[in-house]
Amino acid sequence: MSLLTVNDLKVHYPIRGGFFRKVVDHVRAVDGISFELQPGETYGLVGESGCGKTTSGRALIGLNKATSGEMLFEGKDLAKMGKAERRGYTKDIQMIFQDPYSSLNGRKNVLSIIAEPLRNFERLSPKEELLRVQELVARVGLNPESIYKYPHQFSGGQRQRIGIARALALNPKLIIADEPVSALDVSVQAQVLNFMQEIQKEFDLTYLFISHDLGIIQHMCDRIGIMYRGRFVEEGTASEIYNNPQHVYTKRLIAAIPEMNPEKRFEKMHLRQSINEEYQTEYNNYFDKDGRMFDLKKISDSHSVAMQ
């Protein structure tokens, strides 16, 4: 059974205007996406800014409300739950945030930051709590003394580890990682990515990995969903997406990855130009008359594309 099944999830924000600030229209931030997460896999959600990938992640963890659709976590629909019932599942779904500078409370020391989820969900004596936090801090590779330090005393990579320790505190099943390394330097990125892979094996975690960086997504993910304007344009395994992209938008994204071989840079430039032409000339094959994507259609067992 899949760990999480998302069915036709929509998140719409009202646009108010006119007399009495009536709702005149909606921003369709997420407009009907469906996907499944298998236990232990890393699923990548890719797209450019404003495509709805972060909104989807936040809807799953309950930070914003889903307008409609189902989010089945181990068979139970999170969207229909009341607050109290949903709280029971908060333990199992945790989040790693993008910016390690703003996601840690600067007035709390590391002990209180990491212990916060424990205090909310588990009744531990101060001694047990300290022990758990020390364990977690050691696991993410920080000095045990650092639990009495404050976030500003750490570098970006170390802060992100504190954020990961906090996410791990309640032994979650699913971790939603929203651009976990985009605020970090290249060499620190490598550190955090390696570490995330290690703990995935160790704690048997499932990741929903949200990113705009296609290089990192390819490195980390088993399966990938490409989002554009609140909808999926293509979904498949990493190799299907990278080696055999079908949708013109996917092709465009992949062609935009900078070419690491300097000799091929003009080839790449021409490739981009020809894809742009395809985008212009074959627009109608990929988008309907309102500019919306078509629904996903399977082209193989694991690969689906939003084409007519």
Partner 1 sequence: MKKPVLDIKDLRTSFRIKGDYYAAVDGVTLTVHENEVVAIVGESGCGKSALALSIMGLHDHKNTKLEGQVNFGDENLLSLSRSRLNKVRGKDIGMIFQDPMTALNPLATIGRQIEEPMDYHMKLSASDKKKRTMELLRRVGIKNEQRVYEQYPHELSGGMRQRVVIAIALACDPVLLLADEPTTALDVTIQAQIMDLMKELQNQMKTGIILITHDLGVVAEMADRVVVMYAGEVVEIADVKELFENPLHPYTRSLLNSIPSNLEAKEKLHVIDGIVPSIQNLDREGCRFAPRIEWIPEEDHEKNPEMHEATPNHFVRCSCYKTFYFPEDRVGEREYVATNS
**From 20, 125, 152, 187, residue interacting with partner 1 (rule: CB under 8 A):** 187
String of DSSP letters for 128-197: HHHHHHHHHHHHTT--GGGGGS-GGGS-HHHHHHHHHHHHHTT--SEEEEESTTTTS-HHHHHHHHHHHH
Integer Cα distance of 265 and 252 in angstroms? 16
CB 175 within 8 A of CB 205: yes
Residue 72 touches partner 1, criterion: CB under 8 A: no
Least separation in angstroms between residue 84's CB and partner 1 is 40
Stretch that binds partner 1, among 11-19, 110-118, 164-172, 193-201 (CB under 8 A): 193-201
DSSP state of 145: G
* Distances 130 to 79, 111, 143, 166, 168 between C-alpha atoms, Å: 35, 8, 14, 13, 15
Please report whether residue 194 would count as binding partner 1 according to CB under 8 A. Answer: yes
> Is residue 191 at the binding interface for partner 1, with CB under 8 A as the rule?
yes
86, 139, 149, 272: which one binds partner 1 (CB under 8 A): 272
Q: Which of 257, 277, 282, 298 binds partner 1 (CB under 8 A)?
A: 257
Letter for the amino acid at 128? E
The distance of closest approach from Cβ of residue 217 to partner 1 in the complex, given in angstroms and rounded to an integer, is: 9
Give yes or no for residue 260 binding partner 1 (CB under 8 A): yes
Cβ distance 112 to 136 under 8 Å? no
Both tokens of residue 3?
A: 């760990």
Residue 25 or residue 48: which is nearer to partner 1 going by CB?
48
Options 265, 282, 285, 308; binder of partner 1; rule CB under 8 A? 265
The residues that touch partner 1, with contacts defined as CB under 8 A, are: 48-49, 155, 157, 185-187, 189-191, 193-194, 197, 212-216, 218-220, 242, 252-253, 255-263, 265, 268-269, 272-273
